[in-house]
Amino acid sequence: MARTAVVSGGGTGIGLAVAERLAAAGDDVILTGRREDVLADAASRIGEHASYVAADLETLEGAAAVLQHASEHAGRIDVIAAAAGGNTAAKAPADLQGLERVSWVWNANLRLNVMTAVHLVEGLKPILNDGGRILLFSSIAAYRGSGTGSYGASKAALHPYAIDLSSELGSRGITANVIAPGYTEDTEFFGTSMTEERRTMLIGQTDNKRPGTPGDIAALAAWLASPEAGHVTAQIIQSNGGALAGR
């Protein structure tokens, strides 16, 4: 029987790759994100196994909209993949300086990377089936910092959250794990800020001397979401080609 997965950030990058991989295996996928046009294009690309709901998961209203859509379209769900996120450091208002700017960036990153995941997971808990799978998405920055502190810290906050979810829900056969990617190309994360010099540096830090791809992360996510991964829970799994902290 087909399962149902809800994927936040499902319109582009890693989230879209995860949704495509699950749909290719026969799962129904519900995409969510802020941009309705992007979600519509992604759902059309995936085909009959996909639906979508535009929602801002930084808000309670967004979480309620996703729950309503999932309840109406599927009734119950089996996989939650909280792939929405990003780094707001470069988006701070230009007129903010000093402590005001630091506070804005920290709060914005916490909302974007932590609360979007918390609102999605906690909002969907009431309709998550026994044997379900929860996937959170961290970053190599959680291990080695992100330059400004706030992005890496916000991603690191997901690690104990997954451990606590595993403890809370494990008796129902539900697993909760975190995937922490390294440098991954073909996403919107870096925008136009990636230089060839920086790209070369990041690839040089890997052992296999190549960038990660959304497909790499989707393959790992699909396995963690599978019935075969039922004894893997409360884990933070890195996928970065060997670009470990301290190298």
The DSSP call for residue 192 is T
pLDDT at 197: 87
Question: What are the residue ranges in the chain where pLDDT is below 50?
Answer: none
Q: How far is the C-alpha of 139 from the C-alpha of 211, rounded, in Å?
A: 14
- pLDDT of the residue at 52: 98
pLDDT at 245: 58
Residue 64 near residue 123 (C-beta atoms within 8 A)? yes
Instruction: Say which DSSP state 110 is in.
Output: I
The 8 Å CB, 24+ separation contacts for 51-57 are 52/10, 52/11, 57/8, 57/32, 57/84, 57/115, 57/116, 57/117, 57/119, 57/120
- Alpha carbon of 136 to those of 107, 108, 121, 183, 197: distances in Å? 19, 18, 9, 17, 30
Q: What is the pLDDT of residue 192?
A: 73
Q: Could you list the active site residues?
A: 151
Going by C-alpha positions, the residue among 206, 119, 109, 192 that lies closest to residue 152 is 109
Q: Which two tokens stand for residue 31?
A: 């995409």
pLDDT tens-digit series, residues 188-217 = 777 677 788 888 988 888 989 999 999 999
